[in-house]
Amino acid sequence: MARFLKSREESDGKSPGSLIFIGDQKVDSANIRLIDYDPESLTDKELKDIHVTAHLKDTPSVTWININGLHDIDMVQDIGEVFELHPLVMEDILNTGQRPKLEYFDNYIFIVLKMVRFDKTTETIINEQLSMILGRHFLLTFQEQPREIFGPVRERIKKQMSRIRKTGTDYLAYALMDTVVDNYIYSIEILGEKIEDLEEDILSDPDTSVMEKINSFKREINYMRKSIRPAKDAIYRISRLDSEIIQEPTLPFLKDLEDLTSHATEAIDTYRDLLTDQLNIYNSVMANKMNDIMKVLTIFAAIFIPLTFIAGIYGTNFEYLPELKYKYSYFIFWAVMVTVAGALIVYFKRKNWF
Amino acid sequence: MARFLKSREESDGKSPGSLIFIGDQKVDSANIRLIDYDPESLTDKELKDIHVTAHLKDTPSVTWININGLHDIDMVQDIGEVFELHPLVMEDILNTGQRPKLEYFDNYIFIVLKMVRFDKTTETIINEQLSMILGRHFLLTFQEQPREIFGPVRERIKKQMSRIRKTGTDYLAYALMDTVVDNYIYSIEILGEKIEDLEEDILSDPDTSVMEKINSFKREINYMRKSIRPAKDAIYRISRLDSEIIQEPTLPFLKDLEDLTSHATEAIDTYRDLLTDQLNIYNSVMANKMNDIMKVLTIFAAIFIPLTFIAGIYGTNFEYLPELKYKYSYFIFWAVMVTVAGALIVYFKRKNWF
Amino acid sequence: MARFLKSREESDGKSPGSLIFIGDQKVDSANIRLIDYDPESLTDKELKDIHVTAHLKDTPSVTWININGLHDIDMVQDIGEVFELHPLVMEDILNTGQRPKLEYFDNYIFIVLKMVRFDKTTETIINEQLSMILGRHFLLTFQEQPREIFGPVRERIKKQMSRIRKTGTDYLAYALMDTVVDNYIYSIEILGEKIEDLEEDILSDPDTSVMEKINSFKREINYMRKSIRPAKDAIYRISRLDSEIIQEPTLPFLKDLEDLTSHATEAIDTYRDLLTDQLNIYNSVMANKMNDIMKVLTIFAAIFIPLTFIAGIYGTNFEYLPELKYKYSYFIFWAVMVTVAGALIVYFKRKNWF
Amino acid sequence: MARFLKSREESDGKSPGSLIFIGDQKVDSANIRLIDYDPESLTDKELKDIHVTAHLKDTPSVTWININGLHDIDMVQDIGEVFELHPLVMEDILNTGQRPKLEYFDNYIFIVLKMVRFDKTTETIINEQLSMILGRHFLLTFQEQPREIFGPVRERIKKQMSRIRKTGTDYLAYALMDTVVDNYIYSIEILGEKIEDLEEDILSDPDTSVMEKINSFKREINYMRKSIRPAKDAIYRISRLDSEIIQEPTLPFLKDLEDLTSHATEAIDTYRDLLTDQLNIYNSVMANKMNDIMKVLTIFAAIFIPLTFIAGIYGTNFEYLPELKYKYSYFIFWAVMVTVAGALIVYFKRKNWF
Amino acid sequence: MARFLKSREESDGKSPGSLIFIGDQKVDSANIRLIDYDPESLTDKELKDIHVTAHLKDTPSVTWININGLHDIDMVQDIGEVFELHPLVMEDILNTGQRPKLEYFDNYIFIVLKMVRFDKTTETIINEQLSMILGRHFLLTFQEQPREIFGPVRERIKKQMSRIRKTGTDYLAYALMDTVVDNYIYSIEILGEKIEDLEEDILSDPDTSVMEKINSFKREINYMRKSIRPAKDAIYRISRLDSEIIQEPTLPFLKDLEDLTSHATEAIDTYRDLLTDQLNIYNSVMANKMNDIMKVLTIFAAIFIPLTFIAGIYGTNFEYLPELKYKYSYFIFWAVMVTVAGALIVYFKRKNWF
C-alpha cells in the first residue's frame, strides 16, 4: 500500500458519509474509557455502552471519552448518534488516512491530528490518527490503538490541585494536543540527532550505507512533515475561532502550542535542507575519491607502460639489433628507465597528484 | 500533438465564441441522458432532442442531463439555446484542452474539471474533460465519452431513501465532483505505490530502466498535477460563491471535498519530491558503482602492469645481462614479484578499496 | 546586443519623455490605417496625416487606428498631440524594449504587449511590441512592422452581422488581445511538441546535439516567459479597472482571456520543468554510458593484463627456468590462462557487468 | 544532543507551565543585578533577593533587572511571583531551546532572542538565549551566563547626559536589542569574509578540506539563520503593537532595528546562495580535474600500448618470421613506431588535449 | 572586508545615532554644491558653509544641495542641524553599508539608494551609496565621491524651458532616481551581453576559464541584485506615501520608474537563471568530453591489450611449443590478430562509439 497516501478506494461511488473503516485493525476489541471530572469530583471507568454517557454531554463537568480501536463501526455509529455528529465527521474518524485538519460545526470542533513515533528498530516513523471532538462540556478522542501517551495527562487529572482540574474541556484538549506536539519535537530530535551524526560518516567513511541512510532519513522526515505541517494550520485556526467552546484563559496556552508547532515544522525544514546538503557533500566526496582512484591508476599506468615498452624493444628478436651487443647496454637500459620513471614522478609531483 | 497543451490553433482569428470541437472524437454518436427526480418521483431516459427538457429547467425537481460525446456541435448549440448559455461557455465545453476552472454567471455556475485515470497497460495517465453547468434546478454534464464513473451515483439516486434524493442539484453536483476527486486520489495512490516501490530497485539494481521509470512517472505526476491543481482553486471558490445555487446544507460537503483535493495536491507534491530525491539517489548509486568499477580496474592494472614490466626486463635479449645466469634468479624473480604484488594489495586494503 | 534586455542607454540623462526610437527599424516607411465603424457603417482607409482623425476621437463610432513602423518620430508625436497622450506613454511606445504592462490614465488605458512567433528556420522566438491606447471611442495600435496577425479581426469587422460590429472599442481591444494570446498558446504548443519529442532522443541516442537542443529550448522558453508573464498581470488588471472605458458585457470575455493567459504561463512553467528534468535525465544517461564504457575497459584490462603477465614470465630468458623444459608446459600454460580468464568472466558476470 | 533542536523531552506529560531548566548550566551561581535610573538619579547594585525590587515595579524610574544563570529555579519562581508573570512565560525563560518570539500580555511584553557569537577557535556559532520582560516601568533580562555584551549600554546609562537616561524602558529594551542585532551583523560579517575567501581556494587548489569548509560554513550559516529569522518577525511586531509600553519617540529606533535585522537575514540568504554556488563550482572544478587526469592516462595508454604491441610481435619466437632477418628491420621498426607515436600525438593535439 | 556586508562593528555598543563614517574615504575633501532654481531664476555655486542655505529651506524655489564625500563628520553634523534631521538619518548617511530603503519623517523623506557601475577592467560591479533627503522645498543628496552621473540633470536644469524647471523638488528627486535606475539597466545590459556571449564558449570550447567566468558573473549579478531589489521596494513606496511632499503630477513618472525597476530586477533574475542553466550545461559538456576521452582510451586498450597478449604467448620460450614450428604460423598469427582487431572495431562501431 502506498505509504504516503491511503485512498478511499473502497468507498468509490459510495455515498459520502457512509461509514467504512479504512486502515489496519490494530486492536482486538475497541474500548471506551470515560473520565468525568470537575474541581471536586472525578469518575474514571471503562464503558461497554456509550449511551450511558448521553446525559453527561451537557453537564458542566468535563466529560472525556476516549475510544481505542476504530474497526467497530457500530460503536462509532452509536457515538455519532449520542453526540449528534455530522455524517462526514464520522466518516473521517474511521478513515485513518485523513490529513490533519480542523472543522468547525455549530456545537463542536472536529480536530484530526497525527501522533508520530520514531520506531528505533526499523528507524521509521510510525503514524497514528487522533480524532478529537471538542464540545462545550465534552471531549471525544479516537485512537487507532491504546497507547500510553496520554497517561501523564490522566495522572494530572487525578491530582485535585492541578490546573487541569480547575479548567474546562478546552484546556483538556490543549493538554492532549500539547502532548502530541511534544512528541513531534521529541521524534524530530531523535531523528535529527541521527541526521547530524551522519555528517561525520560522510566525510570520513562514505560508503553506500551512508547514502542509503541519507535517503531513508529524508523519506522519514518527509513523512513526518506530511503529518505535522497541516497540524500547524489546524492549531493556528483553533485560537482564532470565535467560539464559546474555546475560553479566553486557554488562549495563551494555544498560542504557546502554535509556537511549538512552528518550532517543529521549522526544525523539519532545517533537517530536510541538511539532508539535501549532505547528499551534495556525499556526491562531492565521491567525486574526490574517484579523482584519487584515477590518479593512482594514471600514475601506475603512465610510469610502467612506457617502461614495459622499452623492455619490449629489447625483447625483440631482430637479428641485427646493435644495442644488444654492447657490454654496458643493460646498465644503460636501466639508467634510461630510471630516468624516465623519475621524470614522470617529478611531473606528477608538480601536478600535486601525490 | 503536444500532450501538455492543446491549442486553439484552428480557431485563430475566429470570433471568440465560435463553436468548434477541439479534441479527438471518442464516440460514434453523442448521447443525451436525462435523470429528473425529487424525493417522490424519478425519471431516467435517453433523449433524442434536448428541447423536450426546456420546461424542466425551472421546475423544483432536480434535472440532470448528461451528454456523452462532444463532436455533435448542433446538439451542443441546441443545449446552449435551451439553457441560455453564454457563447464562451459553449466554446469552452467543446474545447477539451481547457484548464479546470469555475466561472459564475447570473443563472448558473460553469465548472470544468478533468477526470483522470491511470492506464495500467501504458502506465500513463488518461485525462478527460468534464464540463458542468450547475443551475438552481438543473445540472448539465458534458463528457467526451461514456464512462461508468458516475454509475454508483445513479444507483444512489435510484434508492428513494438516499440523501441524494432529498437534496438539490448542488448536492448532486457535489456527489459527481466527489467521485471525480476520489478518482484523483485513487489514481495518485496507484502511481504512488509504483513510485514507492522504485526505491528498492534503485538501491539494489539500478539500471537504465529504473531511470526511465523515474522519468516517466515524473512526467505522469506532472501531467496529473496540471489537471488537479487548478481544480483545487475551482472547488475552493464554489463554497465561497455567495449564490443561491449553493444551499447552506451542502457547504460542509464542499468543505470536505476541498480538503480531499488539498490532500490530492499535497500527495502529488510529495511524490514529485520523492521522484526528485530518487533521481538524486540514483545518480549517487551510479557514482558509487563507477567508483567500484574503477577500483577493480585500478587494482588489476596497478598490480599486473609493474609485474609485467619486471618480466619484460628479463625478456630482453641483451647479451650481457648478468641476472639471467644465476641459478636462483628465477626464484628471486618470483619472490620480488610476489613481494611487489603483496605490498600493493596491502596498500589498497589500507585504502579500504576492497 | 543583449537579447533579454534592451536598455535606454542612448537616452541616459535625457529628459524622461523625450522621444527616441529604440529598436531595429523593420519597415521602410511607417503607415497608418484607419478603420471606423458602427453597426451600420464602415470606413477603412490608409491615412497620410493623423490630424484628419481628430474629430473621430469622440464620436460614438469605434475608431481603430493602426500604425505600422515606429521610426517616424514626427508621426508618433503628431498622434500624441491629437490624442493628448502623456509624454511617458509616447516614450514607451517608441521604446520597443518595454515590459508588458498596463497603465491607466484619465481618458485612456495604455497597454503594452509582446507578440511572439516561433521562427521555424532558426528555431527561435521572435518578439514584437504591440502598444495599444484604448479610449472610450477610439483604439490606437502600434506595431513595429505590418504583420497579418490582425487580418481575421478585420474580416470580422467587415461582416455587418458579427458581434464585433455591435460592440464597442473595448471589445475590439479584447479581440486583438485574444489574437495575440492565441498566438502565445500556438507558439508554446509548437515549441512544446519539440520539447516533448526530445525525450525519446535523450533515452535512445543522447549525443551533444540533444543537450544543445535542451539548452536552446530552455532559452527560448525563458524568452517567451519574459514576454508573457507580465502580460498576464496586465490582462488581469484590465477587467478590474473601474473605468467606463471597459463596458460590462465585455467582462466575461476579458475573464476568459485571463484564463487563457494563465493557461499559457502554466504551460510555459510545465515545459521549463520538463526541460530541467530532461537535462537531469540526460546527465543520468551520460553517467550510465560512462559506466558502460568503463565496464568494457575494465573487463578487457582485468582479463588480459594478468594473462599477458603470465605470458611475460615465460618469455623471460632465465637460464634456469624449469617449467620451460617440461613437455606439457605449454598446454598447462594455456590451461592456467583459460582458468584465470574464466574465473574473471564468472566474477564479472556475478557483478552483473554484462 | 541534536544541535538544531532542543526538545522538552524531560517535561513530557508534565503540566505545561511546570518550571524545569532545559539547557547546560553555564555559571556556578545565578546573579541578579539591578539598575534603576531616571534623568536625575541612578542605582546600580547586585541583589540577593528579588523581593526588594517589588516596590520599583510601578515607580516611573526605569528599573532594569538582569539575571545571569537560569538553573536556580527558585529564584526564577520568585521573580515570576513578584512581577506576576504567566506560568508559560516562566517555563519559556527556563527552556533555552526556545525559538525567538514575541508575546504580548496585559502588563508586559515577553521577548525571546538568541545572542550569537562566532567562536574563532572552533569556527562555530555559539548561541545563547536572552529573554526580556518589558513592562511599562521595568525591564527584566535573563541570560544563560554573564557576558559583557551589555557593558557599553551600562556605560551609557552612567552618563547623565545620554539619551538613554532621558528615555523610558522601551528605549532601554531597544538599546539592548540593538546590541544583540549589531552582534548578528558582526558575526555574519566574520563568517562572510571567510566564505568569500573560500572562492579563491576553490579555483586554485580544490582539495577535500575546501569542501569540508563549504559544508561547515553552510551548517553555521543555517544555524545562525535559525536564530535570526524568527527574531526579525518578533522585532517587526514590537513596533506594531498598539501598547502603551512602547512610546511613540522610540518607534523610529525600532524601525531602524527592523531594517538592520532585514539586512542581517538578507546577508545570510546571500551567503547561503554563495555557498551553494561554491559547491557547484567545486564540483565543476573536480570534473575538470578528472578530465585532465583521464587525458594524461589516455595519452600515455594510447601511445604506448600500440607500440608495446608492435614490439611484442617481433618478440615472438616463430621460426619463420621473415622481417627478423632483414638488416634494416630494426631501423624500420623504429621508424614505424615513431610514426605511430607522432600520428597519435598530432591526433591528440588536434583534439586540444594538451 | 566582506564585500556583501559592511558591519557597524566599530560602533558596537555606541549609542545609536552616534556619527561615525563607515566606508572608504574616496575624496580628499568633501564639497557642497548648491543649485537653487524656480522657473525664472537659477543659482549654482560651490559652498563652504552649509549655514548660508538655512533660509532657503522653506522658500518655494527648489533647493538642491549635493554633498560629495562623507568623511567630514562635522559638515554632516552641521547639515543635520540646519535641516533638523533625525540622528538615525545622519548615522545612516555616514554608514555606506546601508541597505536601500525609504523612511518617512514628518518633514522629509529619507531615501537610500545604491548607484552601480560595471567596471570594465576588473569586470566587477562598483557600488556607491546615494542618500537623499527630500523635503517640500529642498533636496539633499549625499554621494561618496563626485561622479558625473548627475551632469545631464544639471544641464536640463540650466535650460529655462525644460520640464524640470517648471516642477518641484519631487520631480527633481525623480529625475535623479531615474538616472540611477537607468544606470542599473545599462549595467545589467553590459553584464547580460557578456553572459549571453558565454553560451557559445560553453558549447564550443569549455575550459576552466569559462567556468570561472560563469562563477564571477554570478557573483556580480548577485551583488547587483542586493543593491537593486530593496530599491524596488523603496521606489514602490514613494508613490504610495500620502505626503504633500510628493505632488500629484509626479506620480505617473514615479509609476514609470517603478516599472523600470521591476524591469531591472526581472532582468537580473533572468540572468541568474541563465547562469545556473549555463553551469548545468557546462557540466553536461564536461561529462560528454569525459565520455569521449574514455571511449578513446577504451578502444585503444580493448584492441591492443588482447593483441599484445597473443604476441606474448608466442614470445614465451617453452621448448615444446608446436605452433612456432609451422611455416605459416606467422601469417596465421597476423590473420588472427587482424580478425580480433576487426571484430572489436565492428563491435565499437555498433555501439556508436566512433
Please list every residue in chain A whose beta carbon sits closer than 8 Å to the beta carbon of residue B192.
Answer: 2, 4-5
Which chains does chain A touch, 3 or more C-beta pairs < 8 A? B, D
| C-alpha distances in Å from residue C301, one per residue of B305, B340, E307, E314, E342 | 10, 19, 12, 20, 18
Using the beta-carbon criterion (under 8 Å), do E302 and C317 form an inter-chain contact?
A: no
| C-alpha distances in Å from residue A283, one per residue of A126, A200, A290, B351, D273 | 30, 14, 10, 19, 19
* A124, A304, A327, A340, best to mutate vs chain B, most B CBs in 10 Å: A304
Tell me which amino acid residue C220 is.
E
Phi, psi values for residue E81, rounded to 5°? -70, -45
Which chains does chain D touch, 3 or more C-beta pairs < 8 A? A, E
- Please say whether the beta carbons of D125 and D187 come within 8 A: yes
Cell numbers for A349: 609531483
Cell numbers for C3: 537579447
Out of A222, A293, A323, the one facing B298 most closely (by C-beta) is A293
Helix (H) or strand (E) holding E3: none
Out of A1, A286, A300, the one facing B301 most closely (by C-beta) is A300
Number of residues assigned to chain C? 354
pLDDT, tens digit (0-9, with 9 covering 90-100), for E233-281: 999 999 888 888 999 899 999 999 999 999 999 999 999 999 999 999 9
Residues linked to residue B62 through DSSP beta bridges, in sequence order: B37
Position E10 confidence tier, pLDDT thresholds 50, 70, 90: very low
Out of E9, E307, E312, the one facing D186 most closely (by C-beta) is E9
| CA E224/CA E126 separation, integer angstroms | 9
Listed in order, the ranges of chain C carrying CATH 3.30.460.20 are 17-284
A161 three-state secondary structure: coil
Q: How many CB pairs under 8 A join D and E?
A: 178
Using the beta-carbon criterion (under 8 Å), do B185 and A314 form an inter-chain contact?
A: no
CATH number corresponding to B9-284: 3.30.460.20
Distance between D6 CA and the closest CA of chain A, angstroms? 7
Please list every residue in chain C whose beta carbon sits closer than 8 Å to the beta carbon of residue E318.
Answer: 314, 323-324, 329-330, 333
What is the rounded average pLDDT for all residues in chain A? Answer: 89
Return the CATH architecture of domain E289-350: Up-down Bundle (1.20)
- Three-state helix/strand/coil letters over E227-241: HHHHHHHHHHHHCCC
Return the CATH architecture of domain C17-284: 2-Layer Sandwich (3.30)
Listed in order, the ranges of chain C carrying CATH 1.20.58.340 are 291-350
Under CATH, to which class is D15-284 assigned?
A: alpha beta
What pLDDT was estimated at residue C13? 54
Please list every residue in chain C whose beta carbon sits closer than 8 Å to the beta carbon of residue B305.
Answer: 305
CATH number corresponding to D285-350: 1.20.58.340
| CA E304/CA A305 separation, integer angstroms | 13
pLDDT exceeds cutoff 70 at C11: no
Neighbours of C334 (CB within 10 A): 11
Tell me which amino acid residue A346 is.
V
pLDDT tens by residue, chain A, 354 residues: 577 776 655 445 566 667 777 777 777 777 899 999 999 999 999 988 888 888 888 889 999 999 988 888 888 889 999 999 998 899 889 988 888 999 988 889 999 999 998 888 888 999 899 999 999 999 999 998 887 889 889 999 998 888 899 899 999 999 999 999 999 999 999 999 999 999 888 988 788 889 999 999 999 999 999 999 999 999 999 988 888 899 989 999 999 999 999 999 999 999 999 999 999 999 999 999 999 999 999 999 999 999 999 999 999 999 888 888 888 899 999 999 999 999 999 999 998 887
Using the beta-carbon criterion (under 8 Å), do D309 and E314 form an inter-chain contact?
A: no
| CA B243/CA A354 separation, integer angstroms | 78
CATH number corresponding to C291-350: 1.20.58.340
Largest CA distance in chain C: 120
- Please say whether the beta carbons of A134 and A169 come within 8 A: yes
pLDDT, tens digit (0-9, with 9 covering 90-100), for A7-57: 655 445 566 667 777 777 777 777 899 999 999 999 999 988 888 888 888
Using the beta-carbon criterion (under 8 Å), do C179 and B13 form an inter-chain contact?
A: yes
Please list every residue in chain D whose beta carbon sits closer than 8 Å to the beta carbon of residue A192.
Answer: 2, 4-5
Please list every residue in chain C whose beta carbon sits closer than 8 Å to the beta carbon of residue E193.
Answer: 1-2
Which residue in chain B is spatially nearest to C263 when comparing CA positions?
B99
| CA C128/CA C143 separation, integer angstroms | 7
Using the beta-carbon criterion (under 8 Å), do D252 and E305 form an inter-chain contact?
A: no
* E300, E309, E324, E349, best to mutate vs chain C, most C CBs in 10 Å: E309
Which residue in chain E is spatially nearest to C288 when comparing CA positions?
E291
Which residues have a Cβ under 8 Å from the Cβ of C129 and sit 6 or more positions away? Answer: C23, C96, C98, C112, C113, C114, C115, C142, C143, C144
Start-to-end Cα distance in chain D: 52
Phi, psi values for residue B316, rounded to 5°? -75, 160
- Three-state helix/strand/coil letters over chain B: CCCCCCCCHHHCCCCCCCCCCECCCCCCCCEEEEEEECCCCEEEEEECCHHHHHHHHHCCCEEEEEEECCCCHHHHHHHHHHCCCCHHHHHHHHECCCCCEEEECCCEEEEEEEEEEEECCCCEEEEEEEEEEEECCEEEEEECCCCHHHHHHHHHHHCCCCHHHHCCHHHHHHHHHHHHHHHHHHHHHHHHHHHHHHHHHHHHCCCHHHHHHHHHHHHHHHHHHHHHHHHHHHHHHHCCCCCCCCCHHHHHHHHHHHHHHHHHHHHHHHHHHHHHHHHHHHHHHHHHHHHHHHHHHHHHHHHHHHHHHHHHHCCCCCCCCHHHHCCCHHHHHHHHHHHHHHHHHHHHHHCCCC
Out of C155, C256, C271, the one facing B4 most closely (by C-beta) is C271
pLDDT tens by residue, chain D, 354 residues: 577 776 655 445 566 667 777 777 777 777 899 999 999 999 999 988 888 888 888 889 999 999 988 888 888 889 999 999 998 899 889 988 888 999 998 889 999 999 998 888 888 999 899 999 999 999 999 998 887 789 889 999 998 888 899 899 999 999 999 999 999 999 999 999 999 999 888 988 788 889 999 999 999 999 999 999 999 999 999 988 888 899 988 999 999 999 999 999 999 999 999 999 999 999 999 999 999 999 999 999 999 999 999 999 999 999 888 888 888 899 999 999 999 999 999 999 998 887
- Please say whether the beta carbons of B221 and B124 come within 8 A: no
- State pTM to two decimals: 0.87
Listed in order, the ranges of chain B carrying CATH 3.30.460.20 are 9-284
What pLDDT was estimated at residue C23? 76
pLDDT, tens digit (0-9, with 9 covering 90-100), for C40-69: 999 999 988 888 888 888 889 999 999 988
Distance between C100 CA and the closest CA of chain E, angstroms? 10
CATH number corresponding to A286-350: 1.20.58.340
Out of D301, D320, D352, the one facing E300 most closely (by C-beta) is D301
Helix (H) or strand (E) holding E263: helix E251-313
pLDDT exceeds cutoff 90 at B23: no
- Please say whether the beta carbons of C308 and B302 come within 8 A: no
Distance between A154 CA and the closest CA of chain D, angstroms? 9
Distance between B20 CA and the closest CA of chain A, angstroms? 33
Out of A186, A274, A290, the one facing D7 most closely (by C-beta) is A186
Q: What share of chain A is helix, strand, coil (3-state, %, to 5)?
A: 60, 15, 25
Listed in order, the ranges of chain D carrying CATH 3.30.460.20 are 15-284
Distance of CA D201 to the CA centre of its chain: 22
Out of E9, E294, E314, the one facing D189 most closely (by C-beta) is E9
CATH number corresponding to B290-350: 1.20.58.340
Listed in order, the ranges of chain A carrying CATH 1.20.58.340 are 286-350
Which chains does chain E touch, 3 or more C-beta pairs < 8 A? C, D
- Please say whether the beta carbons of A176 and D13 come within 8 A: no
Q: Which long-range contacts (CB under 8 A, 24 or more apart) does A125-132 make?
A: A125/A187, A125/A191, A125/A220, A125/A223, A125/A224, A127/A223, A127/A227, A128/A96, A129/A23, A129/A96, A129/A98, A130/A176, A130/A180, A131/A92, A131/A93, A131/A98, A132/A173, A132/A176, A132/A177
